[in-house]
């Protein structure tokens, strides 16, 4: 409640998603937002992190229900594909909306 007695909406920073706020996870989500599915190696190259760092951050996103991990083969070579879940896309859009509000403040 403000001084004049009206209820103000919470500041946009309270709507930022803690899971997506971390810089590496933000970059992973940004890369995956533009695709239906991407290979692990492509995300690693674009986010510019090591396999182990990406693996750890993807696990955090997976635990939050934001990223789906699929394993398979191309020929005889094993491949891992990453994609945003519906919940992950919703969270990403909400996070971007909060950023836009902050940017416009």
Partner 1 sequence: MNDLTPQQARERLAHAEAATGRRDAERRVHAWATAGFGAAMGAYLSLSRATDDTPFEQPVLVAYTLAIVGLATWQTRASRAWPRHARRAGYVGLGVTFGLFLVAVIGLNIREAEQKMDGLAPSENPWLLALAGVVVAAPMLLAAVRIRRGDPR
Contact of 40 with 52, CB cutoff 8 Å:
no
**Region label for 82, one of left (φ > 0), alpha (ψ between -120 and 50) or beta (otherwise):** beta
Residue 53 touching partner 1 (CB under 8 A): no
Residue 24 touching partner 1 (CB under 8 A): no
Number of residues lying near partner 1 (CB under 8 A): 28
Q: Judged by CB under 8 A, which of 3, 5, 18, 76 binds partner 1? A: 18
* Nearest distance, CB of residue 5 and partner 1, angstroms: 28
Residue 74 touching partner 1 (CB under 8 A): yes
Contact of 96 with 33, CB cutoff 8 Å:
no
* 75 token code pair: 């020929």
State the sign of the Cα–Cα–Cα–Cα dihedral 28, 34, 38, 44: negative
* Nearest distance, CB of residue 45 and partner 1, angstroms: 9
Residue 26 touching partner 1 (CB under 8 A): yes
d(CA 36, CA 47): 17
Binding site for partner 1 (CB under 8 A): 13-14, 16, 18, 21, 26-27, 30-31, 33-39, 41-42, 46, 74-75, 96, 99-100, 102-105
């Amino acid at each position: 409640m403000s001084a004049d007695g009206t209820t103000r909406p919470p500041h946009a920073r309270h709507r930022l998603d803690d899971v997506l706020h971390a810089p590496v996870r933000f970059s992973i989500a940004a890369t995956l937002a533009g695709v239906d599915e991407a290979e692990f190696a492509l995300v690693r190259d674009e986010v510019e992190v090591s396999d182990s760092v990406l693996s750890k951050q993807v696990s955090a996103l997976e635990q939050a229900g934001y990223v789906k991990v699929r394993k398979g083969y191309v020929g005889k070579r094993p491949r891992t594909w990453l994609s945003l879940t519906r919940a992950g896309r919703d969270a990403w859009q909400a996070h971007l909306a909060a950023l836009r509000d902050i940017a416009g403040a």
